[in-house]
Amino acid sequence: MSENDILQSLRNAALASIHEAKNSAQLDSIETQYLGRKGEITSQLRRIGSLPAEERKDFGQAVNDAKEAVDAAITARREALVSVEADAKFVDEAIDVTMPGRLWHTGRSHILVDTLQRIKEIFIGMGYEFVETPEIEDYKSNFEALNYPEEHPALDEQMSFYITDDTLLRTHTTAFQHQVMSNRKPPMRVATLGKCYRSDAVDATHSHTFHQVDCFTIDRGISMADLKGTIHQFAVEMFGREVNVRFRPDFFPFVEPGAEFSVTCIICGGDGCNVCKGSGFLELGGAGLIHPNILTAHGFDPEEYSGFAFGFGIERMPMLMYGIRDLRLFMENDMRFLRQL
């Protein structure tokens, strides 16, 4: 068989294979087999040197013609297959809009996160600006600037987590007052919420880590009536219109006069039960008019300005609203508990 016959046979075999190719992968294989660096048609160029001089030019031209023919056939077949494959992919990936939707299993926010968000929404609606404050405070912000006397039991190291002699994990979010008052002038209506830390043994009602929200207002003419109205409005929006709020005198170093405020027991509706110890009310937190010593220390004339402040723990609210009896459930990641809420 002559060299030209061999070349023609290879050309015909390549064209036949191209015509029968079913996909792009097969075409790539055929292209490598015949036109690759070591392909069967490409290799024919190496035989030119063994031919008589008068036949070399014609044979070289014939090899190039065969390569061009095969390459053109591959290009044309690939374009046709691309269209066919695209149509097949469209059919495979088509969405039947008449089919029922899939049920996606998504996560949900933690009950504490929901409670924090609801509290924030209520106070923002009443005009409070929320600020971010550090969880590590200095002694002055946490105690001294809040009018704590040196003999106050809260200063006992057994109740606080000290990092250095002068810094500690904040024991209450009230510590933010000093930072805000030092950098602003009245009028101001500011709030914060976040974690607090105290050296308490962990049990069903106590934890070393808990959440609080604190708010304060300073302006001309602020009175206890403004404080009571603010807390009552919060209680109504948080617990419903049927709730009642009770104020009773209490002492806190940073307010004068001071009061603890309670709301109608959600468990018994105010009738009295073992949770509220028969009183019909559950304590939420402490409040009062900002102590004149604090106003004076921050450069505010107590004869011109007055203000109120209040704060309360967050965990107690969902515990009351959902009948949760153990504080530890909030942090233990028990799926049985999380699925219920």
- The SS3 call for residue 310 is strand
* For helices 53-93 and 3-20, angle between their N-to-C axes, nearest 10 degrees: 10
CA torsion, points 128, 225, 260, 299, in degrees to nearest 10? 60
Give whole-number Cα distances, 293 to 109, 252, 340, in Å: 42, 13, 48
Q: Which two tokens stand for residue 71?
A: 């390459």
- Backbone φ/ψ region at 269: left (φ over 0), alpha (ψ -120 to 50), beta: left
**Residue among 12, 6, 9, 3 at smallest CA distance from 70:** 12
77 or 180, greater pLDDT: 180
**Residue among 215, 225, 220 at smallest CA distance from 189:** 215
Specify whether the CB–CB gap between 212 and 177 falls below 8 A: no
Stretch among 127-131, 200-204, 246-250 having the lowest mean pLDDT: 200-204
Backbone angles phi, psi at 310, to 5 degrees: -155, 160
Q: Cα separation of 328 and 249, whole Å?
A: 31
Q: Cα separation of 192 and 214, whole Å?
A: 6
The whole-number pLDDT of residue 155 equals 64
Return the top range by mean pLDDT from 1-5, 203-207, 271-275.
203-207
Q: How many CB atoms lie within 10 A of CB 304?
A: 10
* Strands 167-169 and 188-197, sheet pairing: unpaired
Rounded to two decimals, the pTM is 0.65
Model pLDDT for residues 65-97, shown as the tens digit of each residue: 888 888 888 888 888 777 766 656 656 666 777
The whole-number pLDDT of residue 25 equals 82
330 or 55, greater pLDDT: 330
Strand locations in the chain (E): 129-130, 136-138, 167-169, 188-197, 209-219, 245-250, 255-264, 281-290, 306-313
The whole-number pLDDT of residue 274 equals 67
Residues 104-128: what's their mean pLDDT? 89
Specify whether the CB–CB gap between 41 and 30 falls below 8 A: no
Model pLDDT for residues 22-45, shown as the tens digit of each residue: 787 887 888 888 778 777 877 777
- Which residues share a beta bridge with 210? 196
pLDDT(139) > 70: yes
